[in-house]
Each structure stands twice: as C-alpha cells, then as structure tokens.
Structure 1
Amino acid sequence: MAEEVSDWKPICVASTQGNNSPRSLGPNAGRPGHGYSGYSPSNYFKGAQWSPDGTTLMTDSADHHIRTFILPPDLLDERASPHELSSYSTFPSAEPTYATAIYPYYSLQDPSTTLFLSSVRDHPIKLTSALAPTTMATYSLIHPTTEAFIAPHTIIYPSMLGGTHFLTGSDSLICLFDISRPGNDGPVSWMPTIPSKRKQIVGGGIGMKGIVSAMAVNPVGDGILAAGTFTRQVGLYDSNGSGQLLGTFSVAKTEANREIGGRGVTQLLWSPCGRYLYVSERKSDGVLVYDIRVTGQLLGWLRGRKAFTNQRMNMDVVPSGDGDFHEIWAGATDGFMRVWRNPTHTAGGKDPDWEWKVHNDSVTSTVLHPMGTVAATCSGQRHYPDDASDDKNSSSSTVEIDNTLKVWSMPFLGTQSDG
C-alpha cells in the first residue's frame, strides 16, 4: 500500500444499517412508516448509482425492487454516528430489472426531471418518476419475427445528445430511441452488431455476436460508443452509437487472460481523457486497460481485484488531481474496496495501491458522487441456508451476511497526484 495515504481512511457518514444492529432490506422497506426491518439474507443490493445532481441514490435489489434514497443536506456535518438511510420511494416488479439509466439532467429542485429508465423481462422499457411509482412513458422494443418484447441488458443516455435520446443494448443489437416518441413506434434506429446471427462469417466477420451487456460513450471528442458483450468482445461505434462501426476486438486470449481470467464483459469505463478504455468482466480477478488510439491494443491490467463471481460488481473512475491523473475504485467479494492509482502509467499487470474494508460481504457497487469527496458502496450476495448451517460446524470460516448501502466521506480526494 502507498505509504503517503496509509493514514487516510474513508469515513462512513450514512448507512442503511443503523445503530450498529444487523439489518437488511425487509419486505416493507420504502412503504410509509417502514424503513429497514426484518431479516432477509437473500435480499441483497445488486447495485447502486448516483443521480447526476448528487442528491439521490438509486439501488436495485434481489427482491426485484428499485429504491431511491435522498441524502440529508447535513450529510457531512460532524455527528456521533452515521445517518440512517431509509428509502424514499420503492418500485416493485414481478421480474428482475435488467438495466436502469437516470435522466442526465436530473435535479431534485425540478421534479419534472427526476426520471429514470428501466427494462424488465417481457415488458416495454419504462420511463418512471424517481420520487413516486408513476410511469411517465413506455418504449417498445419488439422482436420483428416473434413479436416478443426485448429487454435490454444495458441502457445509457449519450451525454452529447442532451438527454433527448437513449441507447439500448440487447442480443446482437444496439438501438437508439427518441425520448419524445413513446409508445409502439419503437427505436428510431436499429443497429445489429453483426450482419447475421446465423453465420458469423457473413460480412467478412466484421461485428460481434452476443448479448450487448455494457456500453459507455467517450466523454471527449466525437462521442465514440464502446459496447461489450457476454461473449467477451468490444465494438467501437462513432456518432454516439448511431454511426458506423469503427472496429471490434476480443478481450479473450490475451496475456492478461491467463492471470486474471474473465467470462464476459459487465462494465466499460472511459478514462477522463478519452484515450483509454477499462473493461470489467464477471469471473475475473482484475480490470483490463486498452489504448483506444490503437484499437484493440491491451495496455495493461489491474490485478488483485478478487471478483471471481457472476455478480455484476460495478467500479468507477475517480479523478485524482490535475490533468489526466485518475484512479480506478472497485469492490470485491471479500468486502474490500481497492484502488489503483494512475493505471495507464504502467504496462502489464498492476497491483492495487491501497484498500479499505467497507463491508462484510461482496461489494456490488463502488460509485463516486458527481461532485467528488463522497462515495457510495453497497453489498450482499445470494446466501443459502445450507451454507450457513454447514458453516456453524466449521471452525475455519464464518458466513457473514451484509446487505447494506453506505455513503463515505473521502476528504483526501484530489489532494494526491503523481508528478
């Protein structure tokens, strides 16, 4: 660990686990008069994300409920114990939520902007108010042959399109929707990621076959869209995903694959300068770093993440000073959050620079507040009663269940950089 940051510790300023007592998401969480109650070891947090204005956290849980948490205005004031978080609104569903995306101009001061998109199996895409369980609009993505609803595995708002359009990724398909055209009209453009799903060699093998599981738009330049698949491929498209294919490459069969593994792309992140692309996979011990100036060139990899799981475990890119200095923050199955400083400055494998124990279970999301100096983490995984009972007879290990959402103060952010 880096000596200069050895004394810097994140401070928990809010948590769904109040009064140091074990709690988890209960069946009544979010209803009036109910906060977090009961014990539900299977109801873990699957992920969390900040609203663009930093006032609200949105989570998805194993009980198929999306919840919003509005943070108190005195979040960073000194107090004896962390704030106890309770959900503001709850959005139940009979089916799992595949993907969500918060409106890029979300502002708590203007309720008309507090919106988010979500995709659920066998249903149209929904645009919903984050403050009340009210559906504002629906968008149909229907298979042209079977007429069945297609549920996207990833949804994003390209920042350069001003919130007027959104992109969806599904099986060998990327679609662009106009937010002002709800109903049964469908997307304004369909872009198959491979010319033929039957024969991959059609079109000279250009493209990628499989479920588009992650997307990210370059924050600078011409808005290049990176799209990754569960089949371990990445494609690059110009014009915020509505333009032509620039190239594809596979993240399998690399030097890094032998060391950190991987079973399918679950998240893509761009560096602040837009030159490098970070690729996170399920069943992987690290993060891949690609130089996009040379399409498909593996620059290095971040090892020691400890994320050998099929769960999506979201990471984040965190600015750390002037220029393009930045860090990668990522959670792990052992409850630690690990940090790699300036990951593009090292070729080959790079170990984490420091780590903190933030949960007693798998850390499923690590996300920085849009304004910096505050981060959120959430935790949990599927536990089985037999595992716990077997563990009671074992003296070598313990099964810890931690289904919590936490907010951390990071006062040291932006104070370090490598010269």
Structure 2
Amino acid sequence: MFQPKCVASTAAQVSEKSVCDDKVQESPTERFWRSLQWTADGTSLIASLADNSIQTFVVPPDLLDEDQQPHHLSPYCIIPAKEAVNAIAAYPFFDLSNPSTALVLSSMRDHPVRLNSAFSGHLGASYPLINPMTEVYICPHSLHFTPQGDRFIAGSDSLLSVYDLSRPGQEPISSIQTGPKRRTSECNPTTSMRGIVSALAVDPASGLLAAGTFGRQIGLYAGMGQGECVGVFSTRGTAADDQISGSGITQVAWSQDGRYLYIAERKSDGVVIYDIRKTGQLLSWLVGRNAHTNQRVSIALTRINDENLLEVWGGGVDGDMLFQEPRYTTEVPFWQQLLASVILVQTLVKRSLQTN
C-alpha cells in the first residue's frame, strides 16, 4: 500500500510576517485552518484561516529533494480581512510565472466579493451582491469560477448569482432564486430548493452546475448556473443517510466524465455518490471517514495513472487520512487508513507538481 511522506509543513515554531500589509505584524504559527486549495499550476496553496486572513504558500522548487525534507512552509502573502472569510476560490488559470493570473476571490459579511492578488494582496476588483429590499450586502457562502475563467458563481441564501469578471463594481449578470426563503411558502421539491447554497461545482463538458445546500439538497442547473433547473434531489432519508448520516452539504465534486457526483457533508461518516445521468439516483457511498464535526472537512478526487479511474481522499476528526477507489455499484466500500495526526480539515492531492 502507498505510504504518504511529509515533504513540507507549516508546523515549524517560528514567527511569520505579512508582506501584504505596510504594518508588518507577527502572527502565531498555531493556526486554525478553514479551507485550503491548490492553484491550477500546482505551485502554490491558498488557505483561509480563522484569524480572518487569506494566506498564499508557494511550494519550494526543491520540494521533492529528500535531503531537504521536510521543508518549512511560510506564507508568501497574508491578506487580512475585517470579517471571517466565508469562501475563497483561486483563479483557474493561475500561473506562478504570470502574476496577473495569481488571483483569489473571497467573500465576507458586509462586504462585496473581493478579487485580490494572491502574491501582493492588492485589491484588484470587487463585485457587489446587494439585497434590493434592505440595500445591505449579501454574503456568499460559496464561490466557484467557471471553467473558462471569465465568470464566477456565488451561492447565498436560496440564490445563485453569476458575475462577469471583466465588469468590476457591477451587479450580477444573472441571478436565479433557487427557492423561496420562507418556510411557509410552497415549492416544487423536484425543481426548487431552499437554504444557503454552501457548495458549487461545474462539469466542464456539459456546463451543468451542481449546487448543494446546508439543507441537504442538490440542485442541477444548465448553462453554468445561468440556465434552467434540471432537477433537485435530497440526501435526506436515503439508505446512505441511515448508514453515514449528515447535516448539510459542504462539497460537491464531479467525476471526470460528468456521470457521477460526489457529495460530502458535515457531521457525516462518509461520502455519497449519485448517478447524474438519472438526475440524482443514489449509486453508492463510502463509509468510515469520521467527519462528525460542523467544520468543512473536504475530500479530493484524483485520477489513477491517467486512466478514467478515481481515488477519493479524505480526512476526519480522528486525524486519519483515508483513500478509496470507488466502485459504481450498490456495494459499500470502506476507506483505507493511511496515517493519523490531527483533524484534517482539507485533503488535497496533486499527482504531479510543477515546481520550477
């Protein structure tokens, strides 16, 4: 069995400084991580932390040099925020050699969506999402770039908003009310969903947007979130729910061929797999992830040897990092344990690294 090896860590006991703020500030090395993303070129990591900051870590060029391992990862840039950062999204064409592409979106309460340089922290643009009745900012709980990188989608309370990246300061070019906000209002459960849109993912081939809510519903929308609702289904009350439970969707991820949707939830012991060709038929689920927490404990999908096969990687509150090769059958496979340490808020896998 493959055994992972730590090649770099942020755990060294040293103080760190922000290079994005004129007032250099010391920050503790003990961090509470909220989310973590690889950049598209595999050279950097972008994280949001509970200290209301976004941090960029550039992977060292000699990362795989065993003589230097484990490397210490220090933040290249720290972007301070005035409020807790609800969501981040790295630009899909992020290129270390081209600073103009080193961009990160973020959302926070009482502010527009922000587009910052991940290397300098400079605020390049902002995109308002305003409640027309109260004229206050709406804070998205999920952000996702379209595959072309010219637009992004923001998910908030029963609302999907699509922005044109080239139109800073402007309102969304498209807004879809996913369902009524008031529980007393009637709605069609097959085409309408209510609640905070907490997870987004677009299938590049079909342009189908999957949007998940904390209310445990999944909505499928054509045209990368600008088209009609194809269908809505729920993870509540299924055979998988009896086995692994869940209390709100925190991540949705497409298989490479766009046939299957992987769904991770908070307070859950696994991951569910749905067949989207049949508009949301439960196909299988993975058991034993032990993510019984309100934190977003995410998963990662990676291809095996350039074949159309996937491994699903994840972590849990016990610190175990696990992986599984899912079988698209009704059999229920268990995860395989690799190691133990601390709560694994995010598990990321990069099969190849471009470190030069």
Pair 1:141–1:73, CA change in 2 (3 A): same
Conservation of the 8 A alpha-carbon contact between 1:194 and 1:200 = no
| One-letter code aligned to 1:133 | G
Q: Partner of 2:349 in structure 1?
A: 368
Pair 1:129–1:321, CA change in 2 (3 A): same
Per-residue deviation at 1:261?
0.6
Q: Partner of 2:319 in structure 1?
A: 335
Whichever of the two has the greater Rg, that structure is 1
Cα-to-partner distance string for 1:40-84 (whole Å, 9 max, x where unaligned): 5xx411121011111111111111111001111111122153111
Conservation of the 8 A alpha-carbon contact between 2:156 and 2:198 = yes
Pair 1:182–1:34, CA change in 2 (3 A): closer
Conservation of the 8 A alpha-carbon contact between 1:289 and 1:344 = no
Pair 1:322–1:70, CA change in 2 (3 A): closer
Pair 1:361–1:110, CA change in 2 (3 A): same
Per-residue deviation at 1:346?
3.4
Per-residue deviation at 1:349?
2.1
2:262 matches 1:278: yes
SS of structure 2 residue aligned to 1:345: coil
Conservation of the 8 A alpha-carbon contact between 1:278 and 1:287 = yes
SS of structure 1 residue aligned to 2:327: helix
Q: Which runs of 5+ in 2 are unaligned?
A: none
Pair 1:118–1:80, CA change in 2 (3 A): closer
Cα distance in 1 for residues equivalent to 2:126 and 2:195: 25
Cα RMSD (Å): 2.3
Q: Partner of 2:242 in structure 1?
A: 258
2:36 matches 1:53: no
Pair 1:203–1:55, CA change in 2 (3 A): same
2:338 matches 1:356: yes
Cα distance in 2 for residues equivalent to 1:320 and 1:285: 24
Conservation of the 8 A alpha-carbon contact between 1:219 and 1:270 = no
SS of structure 2 residue aligned to 1:363: coil
Per-residue deviation at 1:233?
0.3
Pair 1:29–1:313, CA change in 2 (3 A): farther
Q: Report the number of matched residues.
A: 353
Q: Partner of 1:378 in structure 2?
A: none
| One-letter code aligned to 2:100 | S
Cα distance in 1 for residues equivalent to 2:109 and 2:349: 29
TM-score (norm 2): 0.93
Cα-to-partner distance string for 1:294-347 (whole Å, 9 max, x where unaligned): 112100110000100000011111101353211100011111111011x13331
| One-letter code aligned to 1:361 | V
Cα distance in 2 for residues equivalent to 1:198 and 1:312: 25
| One-letter code aligned to 1:181 | R
Q: Partner of 2:130 in structure 1?
A: 142
Q: Partner of 2:191 in structure 1?
A: 206
Cα distance in 2 for residues equivalent to 1:332 and 1:285: 9
Q: Partner of 1:119 in structure 2?
A: 107
Per-residue deviation at 1:39?
6.3
Report runs of 4+ in structure 1 exceeding 6 Å deviation.
Answer: 32-37
| One-letter code aligned to 2:312 | I
Cα distance in 2 for residues equivalent to 1:105 and 1:142: 28
SS of structure 1 residue aligned to 2:243: helix
Cα distance in 2 for residues equivalent to 1:236 and 1:368: 26
Cα distance in 1 for residues equivalent to 2:302 and 2:213: 24
Conservation of the 8 A alpha-carbon contact between 2:11 and 2:29 = no
Q: Partner of 1:325 in structure 2?
A: 309
Higher RCO, Cα 8 Å, sep 6+: 1
Cα distance in 1 for residues equivalent to 2:211 and 2:289: 22
Q: Which runs of 5+ in 1 are unaligned?
A: 375-419
| One-letter code aligned to 1:165 | R
| One-letter code aligned to 1:223 | G
Pair 1:35–1:196, CA change in 2 (3 A): closer
Q: Which among 56, 70, 93 is matched to residue 82 of structure 1?
A: 70
SS of structure 2 residue aligned to 1:235: strand
Conservation of the 8 A alpha-carbon contact between 1:172 and 1:197 = no
SS of structure 2 residue aligned to 1:321: coil
Q: Partner of 2:172 in structure 1?
A: 187
Cα distance in 1 for residues equivalent to 2:197 and 2:338: 32
Cα distance in 2 for residues equivalent to 1:39 and 1:204: 47
Q: Partner of 2:300 in structure 1?
A: 316
Conservation of the 8 A alpha-carbon contact between 2:63 and 2:69 = no
2:3 matches 1:9: yes
Cα-to-partner distance string for 1:364-418 (whole Å, 9 max, x where unaligned): 001122xx146xxxxxxxxxxxxxxxxxxxxxxxxxxxxxxxxxxxxxxxxxxxx
Pair 1:67–1:176, CA change in 2 (3 A): same
Cα distance in 2 for residues equivalent to 1:297 and 1:142: 36
Cα distance in 2 for residues equivalent to 1:247 and 1:205: 6
Q: Which among 124, 146, 149 is matched to residue 163 of structure 1?
A: 149
Per-residue deviation at 1:258?
1.0
Cα-to-partner distance string for 1:219-262 (whole Å, 9 max, x where unaligned): 32x21110000000001011111111000001000011111110
SS of structure 2 residue aligned to 1:181: coil
SS of structure 2 residue aligned to 1:288: strand
Q: Partner of 1:98 in structure 2?
A: 86
